[in-house]
Amino acid sequence: MFNQRIRIVSAAILASFLVLIGALFYFQVIRSAYYRSLSLRNSLRVIPVQASRGGIYDRTGKVFAKDEISFDLVIIPQEVSDIDITLKRLSEITGIKVKKLKKNYKRNYRLPFVPATIAGNLKAEEAFSIEERLTGVGGALICATPRRIYPNNEIASHVIGYIGKIAPTELKKLKAYGYSIKDLVGKSGVEKYYDGYLQGEDGGIQIEVDSRSREVSRLGFKEPRGGKNITLTIDLGLQRFMSMLFENKNGALIVMEAKTGKILGLVSSPEFDPNIFNIGTNRERAKILTDKDLPLLNRAIACSYPPGSTFKVIVSAAGIATGAVKKTTTFMCKGIFFLGKRGFKCWKRSGHGYQNIVDALAHSCNVFFYNLGKVLGAEELHRYALSFGLGAITGIDLPSEIKGVAPGPLWKRFVIKKPWYEGDTINYSIGQGYLLVTPIQMLRVITIVANEGYCPQPYIVEEIEGRRLSRKRDFTTRFRHGTFKLIKEGLFNVVNSPTGSGQRVKVKDLEISGKTGTSQPGTKGDSHAWFTGYMPSDDPKISFVVFIEHGGSGGVEAAKMTRLLATYLKENGFVDSDE
Amino acid sequence: MNKIFKGRDPILLLIVGAIFVIALFSLYSASHCPGSSAVKNFSMQQIVWFGLAAIISIMFIALGYEKWLDYSYVIFGLNLFLLVLVLLVGNTHLGAKRWLSLGLFSLQPSEFCKISFILVFARFLSDNSGRLDSFKTILLSLLLCMVPFLLILKQPDLGTALVFLPIFFVMIFVAGAKIKHLIILVLTGSAALPFMWSMLKVYQRKRLLVFLNPNIDPLGAGYTIIQSKIAVGSGGLFGKGWLSGTQNQLNFLPERHTDFIFSVIGEEWGFAGSVILLGLFLLLVKQLLYIANTTNDQSGKLLITGIITLIWFQVFVNIAMTIGLMPVVGLPLPLVSYGGSNLMTIMVLISLAISVNAKRKIF
């Protein structure tokens, strides 16, 4: 049995070796002449055909980013016998200095048979006239390659992002997925988050040429496959208007459909022109990268700040939900609150007098919330901050979102390595101290109030090549029915009561609710101005957050900006009822 | 020592030596590239590996293969543990987790798993030789093979994983399994192919598709196949001569010192050189078959069957992929391709065979 079966195996091995020898005989003896001719120097040429990247469009189909054909003059190194002579000839033809051509050649050289660009981004007419005069210059040709353009320049730059050459560390990670060193990849925004969809697949032609570099036969062709087109929820007109509001100001502004989570506009200011990263000069790039205002930073999602009085919405919900306050509960505001010997001021020196929760929200009375915060305690404040989604990312489909800090006694012990003092609780109750939030987190907080308990997953991308994406679940937080009634009344009065802190928001024929906030930054400088809100008040369609970095008072600067925004939204039909 | 190398062993060593000499010349040529100065000298490097492998091989012979069979379950278990460890904490290189870093050097547990699997499977089959006609035993042995197979496929290292399948089938066939049972296994295996396909990485699927039609990717994987075919084909009857292969010297061939070393040999030494190399491998297999036929120990026979299958499969697949008859799965050519782990594995396996030969009783 044993030896008999081994004999079968050895026969099979012998047969397989004979097959190999037969195949080698075919390749190396019968077809040898053919392969020898192919192997002769210069006979094989690979011309890469770059795939175009998918376009990015606004919700009505207006272009945010797309690829356009650009023409490059390239050299195939192995076909050039004397590079200096060739470059000199090309300099005469193109009118570009030899030194510059040489510099480009050295920079773009990769392998002998891979075309190296020596003059990029030529105009079409220019390219055609150069091509006509190229005959007789061996190894040089005009290549058409797609190039990314952003027609709206800096508009929506933080949503769209920009692209650049893949970094060596990224390449290591992505190589298994078919990326190569020369690929352009998304570096931020939708360009990065959805890179896998936008990225096309490069093609190429492999041809056999004779000694004068004329094509003899085509050995292989792979058609490039373009990337997928992406449609955003962003409205270009609104986005442009929102950018305008931020002229000479830093900050962030987000407008969302309260019931669906569609982001209609998202601005982070200052903005940058993404075109600079593919067709700009090094100096322009350096300017963006070294700007002390950090234009590449997306302040709406990747930067956290103290929320100030906008946090009082959460403290109110905690007070009502735990039963600590009812409509009739009042605290006396004399303009200052004492914890032992230490005094905590209200913004109104003369005091607000007796305040119930509705008044306290409308007037943004600090003393009321100091008292309420003290009654609730730090643990409860921490618990409700978490239940409104602070300290956790919203999961919006943009890269580098951060989660901020929702502090509590245990957190302080571990991170700051100090015990929690009652003074911390007092600061906590007006949104100061260790608490740090991103503007989009505050958008979620106000949307939860608008929808009375839930906030849909905010998102930017509506469709990819005509197909809708499945969404993650909404963010819900359980409260007893009616919890939000008093809060909504308070937020309505912020804008509409004659003593409200946000009267400047008021717009004719549109009811707006919201909360002002003026928070002290951790560093030096003016206070940050906030306004978070929703409209129309009785059936919220739009929720929004306005944040102006070092913008002064929330009731003044942020409220003014909100009024302009609300007017635009009303005039352009964003708040019309569905019927 | 003299007693250890007896009978036909000198011939076996002579063949290994001859193949290795060819390897050194080819590796020198592959690393010799006019124009670029900073190229690693792979042949010097490989000699160092060879010395190391020889020392370890002598240890294996001195201990004797029976000892290794005795401890095979423990070794195999340890090896599987290392494979799991690689998936958890291994170094990622070219998108695959194959290496365990041990400070001074890194280890490739999947390479050594070839040895430990052949050992454990030889032991298992000879322990269960009476029960091989039951399908339950067949399924049990399949389990033994599938665990390392799937762990290595997950890394992902398709080439190394695939080696386990022919070893499994040939060894169990020689051990005396029923043909009917083997056919059932093959049929269910083919039914599971779609599942396997889903386990493959994008680049692995691409390579398989490129094998069917190299022109779908003339710049990537298809480029390698086309260039390698041109290299081998242009070699002709007697080759272009050492250090004169244009495909090779002009840097047309990627990975030519490892998986595509045969294209260097084919181009520079031609059909004649290729046949000589294949002949040497055939002689190697023949020597091993002789030992298998003459030994009386069943586990020794099975051990050598596994060794033969491994060497044969790697030689066949490697050369076939160089000339485009098989997909590029990344299997090195035994004793010839550059790389320490693979050289070590083959040398250890051959030394186990020598040990079987040494222990055989001559009547």
Question: B81 and B56, same structural domain?
Answer: no
Question: B240 and B177, same structural domain?
Answer: no
Residue (of A342, A333, A421) closest to A369 by Cα position: A333
Residue (of A113, A82, A130, A144) closest to A208 by Cα position: A113
What SS3 class is residue B294? helix
Question: B194 and B342, same structural domain?
Answer: no
* HSE of B175, CA atoms in CB hemisphere, 13 A: 31
Question: B359 and B223, same structural domain?
Answer: yes
- Whether the CB of A40 is below 8 Å from some CB of chain B: the reply is yes
Task: Give Cβ neighbours of residue A399 (< 8 Å, ≥ 6 apart).
Answer: A161, A188, A189, A192, A193
Domains and CATH numbers, chain A: 44-232 (3.90.1310.10), 236-269+301-571 (3.40.710.10)
Residue (of A401, A400, A402, A397) closest to A457 by Cα position: A397
Continuous segment of H or E residues that includes residue A445: helix A439-450
Question: B275 and B255, same structural domain?
Answer: yes
pLDDT at B34 over 80: no
| Min Cα–Cα distance to chain B from A169, Å | 12
| Min Cα–Cα distance to chain B from A396, Å | 28
Helix axes B298-322, A2-25, angle to 10 degrees: 10
Question: B207 and B121, same structural domain?
Answer: no
Please say whether the beta carbons of A368 and A355 come within 8 A: yes
pLDDT at B215 over 80: no
Report the distance separating Cα B284 and Cα B216, nearest Å: 38
Report the distance separating Cα A537 and Cα A395, nearest Å: 27
Question: B306 and B283, same structural domain?
Answer: yes
Share the mean pLDDT of chain B: 83
Per-residue model confidence (pLDDT) at position A230: 95
Burial of B116 (0-12, 13-18, 19+ CB in 10 A): buried
Question: B245 and B151, same structural domain?
Answer: no
| Min Cα–Cα distance to chain B from A27, Å | 5
Cis amide bond preceding B156, omega within 30? yes
Tens digit of each residue's pLDDT, chain A (579 residues):
677 898 999 999 999 999 999 999 999 999 988 888 777 654 566 666 778 899 999 999 999 999 888 888 888 777 777 788 888 888 888 888 888 888 888 888 766 667 788 887 788 888 888 888 877 677 788 887 788 899 999 999 999 999 987 776 666 665 555 556 567 888 999 999 999 889 887 776 666 665 555 566 666 666 778 889 999 999 999 999 999 999 999 999 999 999 999 999 999 999 999 999 887 778 888 898 888 899 999 999 999 999 999 999 999 999 999 999 999 999 999 999 999 889 999 998 999 999 999 999 999 999 999 999 999 999 999 999 999 999 999 999 999 999 999 999 999 999 999 999 999 999 999 999 999 999 999 999 999 999 998 899 999 999 998 888 877 678 888 888 788 999 999 999 999 999 999 999 999 899 999 999 999 987 778 899 999 999 999 999 999 999 999 999 989 999 999 999 999 999 999 988 664
Continuous segment of H or E residues that includes residue A360: helix A357-363
pLDDT at B293 over 60: yes
Helical segments of A451-555, H only: 483-496
Report the distance separating Cα A206 and Cα A4, nearest Å: 51
Please say whether the beta carbons of A198 and B223 come within 8 A: no
- State pTM to two decimals: 0.63
Please say whether the beta carbons of B211 and A199 come within 8 A: no
pLDDT at B8 over 80: no
Per-residue model confidence (pLDDT) at position B36: 43
- The CA-atom distances, in angstroms, between A108 and each of A77, A116, A204, B17 are 11, 5, 18, 45
Per-residue model confidence (pLDDT) at position B205: 73
Report the distance separating Cα B131 and Cα B115, nearest Å: 24
Question: B195 and B237, same structural domain?
Answer: no
Residue with tokens 């100090």: A418
- Residue by residue, what is the 3-state secondary structure of B180-236? HHHHHHHHHHHHCHHHHHHHCCHHHHHHHHHHHCHHHCCCCHHHHHHHHHHHHHHCC
Domain that holds residue B159: 71-200
Among B200, B227, B257, the domain boundary falls at: B200
Per-residue model confidence (pLDDT) at position B37: 41
Question: B184 and B87, same structural domain?
Answer: yes
pLDDT tens figures, B308-337:
999 999 999 999 989 988 877 778 999 999
pLDDT tens figures, A44-53:
666 667 788 9
Among B200, B232, B267, the domain boundary falls at: B200
pLDDT at B38 over 50: no
Question: B24 and B120, same structural domain?
Answer: no
Chain A from 165 to 184: CB within 8 A of any B CB: 172-173, 175-178
* Number of Cβ within a 10 Å radius of residue A31: 15
**Number of folded domains that form chain B:** 2
Per-residue model confidence (pLDDT) at position B158: 79
Task: Give Cβ neighbours of residue A142 (< 8 Å, ≥ 6 apart).
Answer: A71, A72, A73, A74, A122, A127, A128, A130, A131, A134
Question: By 3-state DSSP, what share of chain A in percent is helix, strand and coil, each rounded to 5?
Answer: 40, 25, 40
pLDDT at B97 over 70: no
Q: Are strands A56-57 and A230-232 parallel, antiparallel or unpaired?
A: parallel
Q: What is the ipTM of this complex?
A: 0.90
Helical segments of chain B, H only: 9-31, 42-63, 65-70, 72-89, 109-127, 135-153, 158-175, 179-191, 193-199, 202-212, 221-234, 246-249, 261-294, 298-322, 340-359
Per-residue model confidence (pLDDT) at position A427: 94
Contact B215 A10 (CB under 8 A): no
Question: B46 and B125, same structural domain?
Answer: no
**Chains A & B: contacts with CB separation below 8 Å:** 152
- Whether the CB of B10 is below 8 Å from some CB of chain A: the reply is no
pLDDT at B32 over 80: no
Q: Calculate ∠ Cα A571-A576-A578, nearest 5°.
A: 155
Task: Give Cβ neighbours of residue B323 (< 8 Å, ≥ 6 apart).
Answer: A23, A24, A27, B228, B229, B232, B233, B266
- Whether the CB of A204 is below 8 Å from some CB of chain B: the reply is yes
- Whether the CB of A30 is below 8 Å from some CB of chain B: the reply is no
What SS3 class is residue A280? coil
Among B155, B181, B200, the domain boundary falls at: B200
Please say whether the beta carbons of A311 and A435 come within 8 A: yes
Per-residue model confidence (pLDDT) at position B92: 61
Going by pLDDT thresholds of 50, 70 and 90, the confidence category of residue B35 is very low
Contact A24 B323 (CB under 8 A): yes
Residues in B touching A113 (Cβ below 8 Å): 252
